[in-house]
A = this chain, B = another copy of it.
Amino acid sequence: MATAINSAAATREHLLRARAASETLARLTTGQKNEILFAMASAIEAAQGAVLDANRADLETCGLTGSMRDRLLLNAERIDAMADGIRDVARLPDPIGESLAEWTPPSGIRIRKVRVPLGVIGIIYESRPNVTADTVALAIKTGNAIVLRGGREAARSNQCLAGILSGVGGVPPGAVELLDSSTRDSVRELIQARGLVDVIIPRGGKDLISFVVENSVVPVIETGEGNCHIFVDESADFDMADAIVINAKTQRPSVCNAAEKLLIHAAIAPEYVPRIVKKLLQAGVEVRADELARLLTGELAVVPALADDWPQEYLRLCMAVKVVTDVDDAIAHINRYSTKHSDAIVTRNEVNAQRFLRLVDSAAVYWNASTRFTDGAEFGFGAEMGISTQKLHCRGPFALAELTSTKYEVTGSGQIRT
């Protein structure tokens, strides 16, 4: 109990500091913000030894193995990439102050809609310590204070990085606040801090995101799960379909824009199902198949797909294959089971392609390209805060512009309402 009270008081301290810093940050010029960002990049490079020491301590106690351990790991190359990432953000245009519209309604008042910072951004994330540097850079560039709640396993790495970044000359005290990651209390306190925090961005697994969405009284940008589909239509170029399916499934299976499901048009199924299943198996992919697809795969080692496969995000070398009757059947299946992240059609039929692009209700819908392109850098945003799977505020990869709000500046000459 005493700990809970101490934790709540400590979190509140952090948030009050961030709130105060947000006012100062909103007044910084583009030049001042960029100067801070370049200094942050240099500071991280200069403190490489300390960052590596802190990370080594995290690695020794984390108990993680395999890809989870790799996500936590820092090395000289990754630290250089972090610093370069901050410099990239410095070079991007500053959205703050941008005039989005300006008009004069009949009353004669002059209305200008202008971009302003959100205020205080709260981010809750897991293992990867580069998220600390990336998100701090995006927040500073947009004149926002940031409150970080990283993963317990990366506590020392994040503490070291946050200390370096917040200690750079010109950074207002409170602009970068790091919460205690040893218990879930700080998460709960952060998402209940209505009035002190303007938006919460959870980045991580399904459980973390559900917890935040269900318990936050602060507005949330949900990032998320990707149960992504590829539909190979009747008229698809098979070589192109092979390349897209194998790329989307195997190039990096642990990420949200990797494909999890493969839908194949019934007319080409007898030829294309065995062909692609063979290639998937050769690439080390576990293949689950619906009844019809299983019939078509003959001797190949496939597993029956069950009802709970269709809504599932595997995040590993596993793919479920289903035969559909046509493009509308594919669209219906996707709109029912997709997490509305990224879905693709491979086809030479433009009518079907346009129908698919228009009717699949997902953040990014592809025609003849891999779902793996749903990414801030690939979209040309220069950086990425996350990929929104909700429809409010922003949808899909989001970066600087989406870390802003707007305000109306109205100029009159004494107008009153009659």
Contact = CB atoms under 8 A, between A and B. Distances in A.
A4 interface: no
Interface string A34-51: 000000000000000000
A414 B357 contact: no
Contacts of A415: 368-370, 373
Contacts of A247: 416-417
A217 interface: yes
Interface in A92-117: 103, 105-107, 109, 111, 116
A409 B199 CA distance: 27
A213 B217 contact: yes
Contact of A368 (B105, B407, B412): B412
A412 B366 contact: yes
A201 to B, nearest CB: 11
A151 to B, nearest CB: 24
B362 A244 contact: no
A413 interface: yes
A376 to B, nearest CB: 11
A182 interface: no
Which of A109, A199, A240, A251 has the most CB atoms of chain B within a 10 A radius of its CB? A109
A408 B343 CA distance: 11
A385 to B, nearest CB: 13
Nearest to A391: B405
A171 interface: no
Nearest to A411: B367
Given A240-B414, A416-B243, A409 B107 contact: no
B373 A410 contact: yes
Contacts of A198: 390-392
Contacts of A411: 353, 357, 366-369
B410 A380 contact: no
A407 B392 contact: no
A206 interface: no
Contacts of A417: 247, 251, 370, 372-373, 378
A395 interface: yes
A144 to B, nearest CB: 10
B217 A410 contact: no
Contacts of A155: none
Given A26-B361, A111-B379, A396-B406, 17 more contacts: A107-B373, A109-B366, A118-B391, A198-B390, A219-B392, A248-B416, A363-B407, A365-B410, A367-B410, A368-B411, A369-B412, A370-B415, A372-B417, A373-B410, A373-B415, A374-B408, A379-B408
Interface of A: 23, 26-27, 103, 105-107, 109, 111, 116, 118-119, 194, 198-199, 213-214, 217, 219-221, 237, 240, 243-244, 247-248, 251, 335, 353, 357-359, 361-370, 372-374, 378-380, 390-396, 405-418
24 contacts: A26-B359, A26-B361, A107-B373, A107-B378, A111-B380, A198-B390, A198-B392, A199-B392, A221-B392, A243-B414, A244-B414, A251-B417, A366-B410, A367-B411, A368-B412, A368-B413, A369-B414, A370-B415, A372-B416, A373-B415, A373-B417, A374-B408, A392-B393, A395-B406
